Structure 1
Amino acid sequence: MKTRITDITGTRYPIVQGGMQWVGRAELASAVSNAGALGILTALTQPSPEALLAEIERCRTMTDQPFAVNLTILPTAQPVPYDAYVEAIATSGVKVVETAGRSPAEFIARFKQAGIKIIHKCTAVRHALSAQRAGVDAVSIDGFEAAGHPGEDDIPGMVLIPAAARALDIPILAAGGMATGQSMAAALALGAEGITMGTRFMLTQEAPIHDAIKLAVVKGTERDTTLIFRALRNTARVFRNGVSQEVNVREKEPGATFEDIKALVAGARGRAALETGDTEAGLVWAGMGIGLMDDIPTCAELVERVVAECRASLARASALTAEGK
C-alpha cells in the first residue's frame, strides 16, 4: 500500500503501532516493523535518555526496517527531563517520532534539524490544526473509543476522522477502535491515510507483557473498558477491573482530588500488573476495540490479516456500489 503515511514512515503498509507505556519495547517494535508496519518504542518506558539510546540500539539488532519512538509530554508525579530525551532521539538516527500529550512545538526545530518526521497524536480537530501550524508532518487523530487519554470532547471516530480529514492538509492516521481490516477500510473511506493500533498490538505474541493479561483483555467485550479521571478533566480509558472501578467510586466523592486516587493509579502498580499477570494489581490500559479482538496472533499474522481484510472490505464496498449494467 502507498499513501502519504507510508512516504513518511518508509513502511510497506500505513499501519502504526501505538506508543504504549511499559509495552513499547524492542521485542514488540521490531516484530511490528518486520511485519511491514511501523513499530514504536516508548521513550518514557526507559528510565533515562541513556537507557532509551540502548533500547534503540537493541531494536536495531532485531530489525532492519524503520521504527519510531514515542515521546508523551504530560504532567507526571516525578519531573521528566524532556529536553534530554529529545536530544537522545535526535541523535539516535531514528527517522520518525510520535509525540503525544501537550504540543511538541518547542521540540519541533530540533527534530527537524535531525531530519526526523513528526506524527502528533490529537483528540480534537482544533488541536490537530494547531499541530499542523506548528510544523508536524502528520497527525494521529484519536477517537473516543481509544485507550489512554481520548480527550474531553467525547467525539467518536466516525465523526472525528472525516472532520479532521476535511480540515487538515497534512495526512492523518485514524486511531481509536482500530482492530481489524474492516476498521482500516472504514478509516480509509473516511479520509485517513493509515491507522494506528495500540491495544490490538498489545494483544500479540511478541508484546512483552504477561500472557494472563493478554488472555483477560482479549476475552473482554466492547463494554469491558471504563473511563477514569473524568472529574479531574483528564479522562482516560482503561480495562474494567477492581482497581479502575475503585477509582471510579473514589473520584466521584465530594471534594475528591488526585491525591485520593494517586496510590491506586501509580504507574508502578500498572507495570506490576503487566509483568505479573495479576489483572487486579493495577490499571491496565485498553480501548473499546477489544470487542473486536478474539485471538493473540503474531505481529506478522496480524498485519497480513488486517491488510487482506482491508482490501477485501474495500472491494466488497466497491462492488455494492457499482453501477448496474
Structure 2
Amino acid sequence: INMGTSAGITVIHKCVNIKHALTAERLGVDIIAMDGFECAGHPGDDDIPNMILLPRAKEALKIPFIASGGIGTGSQLAACLALGAEGINMGTRFMATREAPIHDGIKSALVSGTELSTTHVMKSLKNTERVYKNSASKQVQELEAKHPGDINAIRHLVRGENYRRSFQETGNADDSVWSAGMVMGLIHDVPTVAVLIERIVADAENVIQALPTRVVASGAYPTPTSKL
C-alpha cells in the first residue's frame, strides 16, 4: 500500500464485509470497493447483498467507497449513490461489450441468461466463487459433495486453462467453469463501452431528476380508502 500511495497511485481494495474494509482503511488504502453477494467471482462467505453492505459501509467508513457486484444499469448507479457509494464498479456487464476480448459465444450466453443463471462452487474450500450455471459447474458441485474440501477432486475442472479456451477459442459457455454475476438478468445487449457508459449515466440522471416528483410532502399523505 505504501509503495503505491508514495508513488501517487490511488489504491483501491476489494472487501466483502465491513470488518475487512475497516482493516483496509486502517492500513491506508484510498478507496474501498465494497463487493456485494451478487457479484461474479469471489463474494466471501458472509453472503451480504449490497442493499445491506453499502449502507453499512456508509456508517462505518471514513474513506470513500465504490459499489461492486450485480450492477449494470443507470437506476442501480443512482441507488448506489443514494446508499453512500461514490460510484460503481462493473465486471460482468463490461464482458458483454463489443470491445471485451472474449468470444461472442460467451457474450451471447450473458445476454440470454437471467438472474438465475449463476451458482456457487468451491464453498467447501472456503473459496466460494459465483460462476455461470452449466454442466461444468454442476460437475464441480457434485464432486465437492463427495469430496468436500479436496481441491484435487475438482482441480481439472476449475483450472484457468479451461475457461481461457472457452473465452478465446471455442465460445462454448457450457464446457468450463467461469465467473459471472447475477447482473446477467439485466444484460440485454452487447453495446460499445462508450454507449454503455453514456446510457448508464443518462439513465441515472433521469432517475435522480425524477425522484422529487415521487416524494410526498409531510402531512400531505392521502387518506386511505381501502376497506381491506
Instruction: Return the alpha-carbon distance in structure 1 between the equivalents of residues 6 and 186 of structure 2.
Output: 41
Question: Helix, strand or coil for the counterpart of 2:11?
Answer: strand
Question: Helix, strand or coil for the counterpart of 1:117?
Answer: coil
Question: Helix, strand or coil for the counterpart of 2:124?
Answer: coil
Give the counterpart of 1:199 among 82, 86, 92.
92
The answer (yes or no) to whether the contact 1:204–1:298 under 8 Å persists in 2 is yes
Give the counterpart of 1:314 among 205, 208, 211.
208
Which contiguous aligned blocks of 4+ residues in structure 1 show a shift greater than 4 angstroms?
A: none
Q: Which one is further off, 289-298 or 247-256?
A: 247-256
Give the counterpart of 1:211 among 104, 107, 113.
104
TM superposition score normalised by structure 2: 0.92
Residues 234 and 255 of structure 1: CA distance in aligned 2, closer, same or farther (over 3 Å):
closer
Partner of 2:181 in structure 1?
287
Cα displacement (A) at 1:283 = 1.6
Instruction: Return the alpha-carbon distance in structure 2 between the equivalents of residues 206 and 158 of structure 1.
Output: 30
The answer (yes or no) to whether the contact 1:138–1:171 under 8 Å persists in 2 is yes
Amino acid at match of 1:279: A
Partner of 1:132 in structure 2?
25
Partner of 2:64 in structure 1?
171
Q: Percent identity over the alignment?
A: 47
Cα displacement (A) at 1:317 = 2.1
Amino acid at match of 2:125: L
Amino acid at match of 1:305: R
Residues 256 and 135 of structure 1: CA distance in aligned 2, closer, same or farther (over 3 Å):
closer
Give the counterpart of 1:161 among 22, 34, 54.
54
Count, aligned residues: 218
Q: Mark the runs of 5 or more structure 1 residues left unpaired by the alignment.
A: 1-107
Instruction: Return the alpha-carbon distance in structure 1 between the equivalents of residues 154 and 39 of structure 2.
Output: 22
Which is higher, the Rg of structure 1 or of structure 2?
2
Amino acid at match of 2:16: T
TM superposition score normalised by structure 1: 0.65
Instruction: Return the alpha-carbon distance in structure 2 between the equivalents of residues 165 and 261 of structure 1.
Output: 39
Q: Does 1:224 align with 2:83?
A: no
Instruction: Return the alpha-carbon distance in structure 2 between the equivalents of residues 258 and 318 of structure 1.
Output: 53
The answer (yes or no) to whether the contact 1:273–1:283 under 8 Å persists in 2 is no
Which structure would you say has the larger RCO, counting Cα contacts within 8 Å and 6 or more residues apart? Answer: 2
Question: Helix, strand or coil for the counterpart of 1:278?
Answer: coil
Cα displacement (A) at 1:255 = 4.8
Give the counterpart of 1:252 among 121, 145, 164.
145
The answer (yes or no) to whether the contact 1:250–1:256 under 8 Å persists in 2 is no
Point out the structure with the larger strand share.
Answer: 1
Partner of 2:223 in structure 1?
none
Amino acid at match of 1:283: V
